[in-house]
Amino acid sequence: MVVHVDGKVGEDLLAEWGRKYFAVFFREGDKYVGVLAAELKTLPKEIEPWVRDIYPTSSNIQLASREYKDELRLIRLGTDIEIGGSSSRTLMIAGPCSVESEEQIDQTAHFMKEIGVRIIRAGCYKPRTSPYAFQGSGKKGLEWLVAAGKKYGLKVITEVRDATHFDEVADLSDIIQVGAKAMYDQGILRGCGRSRKPVLIKRGFGSTLQEFVQAAEFVLSGGNTQVMLCERGIRSFETKTRFTLDLCGVAYLKYHTNLPIIVDPSHAMGAAYGVSDLSAAALAMGVDGLLIEVHPCPSRALSDAAQQLDFQSFRSLYKRLDSLAQAVSRPLL
Ligand code: PEP
Ligand code: MN
């Protein structure tokens, strides 16, 4: 159950209700938004006099549910980039898996600018499966990425691997990426809830849709309204592709949640050849954006080499998507 509570209620009362009813309250303008345990079917008598509106929700999807907010949430970046809401655009996010050098990220940013992509992605703190693989360029990489973004007028999204560099990433990036492996990290999620930067949460590859949306609830219940979900493939019995892109899940999320949905075909497929087809399928479904890995020389990439597109392949993918986007009235942004 979600409730809107009069802003004049004292913090002491809110804290007491929080303990008693496992409720979370956060300030939104002149009121408080409160989320009470979904199992609670009737509003406790002591809260009632302070409540302005009640939104019953039927599951543990609360702030992200259509029952609470029927319209798609809007995310704003600067003055001219709008994701979700009634924008009906398909946001393109592209860039290498990792920042590897100043030259590599500069070259990619230059290419993005030339194509018309507005947001560059690249990881600086990489959550690798092996401790003996490239772990990312860290702070240095972040500085190169931010500098390239500034130079070419691009917004920047990069991943938080753990709490040690949360503030650094939250300060310097335009969108905070929570990776598939970090989807359950409550330190990161709560940090995102305190931040007022847009957040993109990737689905853990072993996570149900319910768990995925509940990760978003941690951020939303911290008072950060700008959350996007990113489907990037889940583990199935199939071994011919790296993961299985769950487009059923995307349809579920579009129908049941009010969060913009981004699809990442690169990590799902794990091979460059499938990325264009998966992007086309997701775009035709009407997702809010695509996140695609692009590298100046994929064969030399230090992470995810097999799935990254070279510039030429990205150019033809972009052309294909551009006409498809016109046909389904969701122009590329
Ligand atoms: C990435 O975006 O490079 C990445 C590590 O993705 P994921 O968290 O989906 O594995
Ligand atoms: Mn990657």
Nearest ligand, CA of residue 127? 1
Q: Determine contact, residues 325/298, Cβ cutoff 8 Å.
A: no
Averaged pLDDT of the chain = 96
Query: What is the pLDDT, as a whole number, of residue 60?
Result: 87
User: Counting atoms of ligand 1 from 1, which one is nearest the CA of 202?
Assistant: 9
On whether the pTM is more than 0.85, the answer is: yes
- List pLDDT tens digits, range 31-58: 999 999 878 889 999 999 999 999 999 8
pLDDT below 50 — which residues of the chain? Answer: none
Query: What is the pLDDT, as a whole number, of residue 39?
Result: 81
User: Counting atoms of ligand 1 from 1, which one is nearest the CA of 267?
Assistant: 9
- List pLDDT tens digits, range 99-132: 999 999 999 999 999 999 999 999 999 999 999 9
Q: Whose CA is nearest to atom 10 of ligand 1?
A: 180
Q: Whose CA is nearest to atom 5 of ligand 1?
A: 179
Cα 304 to ligand 1 centroid, rounded to whole Å: 9
Ligand 1 pocket, mutate which of 129, 157, 159, 263 (most atoms under 8 A from CB): 159
> Cα–chain-centroid distance for residue 71?
18
Query: What is the pLDDT, as a whole number, of residue 157?
Result: 98
Coil, strand, or helix at residue 261?
strand
Q: From start to end of the chain, where are the E strands?
A: 2-6, 24-28, 31-35, 51-55, 74-77, 81-84, 91-95, 119-121, 155-160, 175-178, 199-202, 227-231, 261-263, 289-293
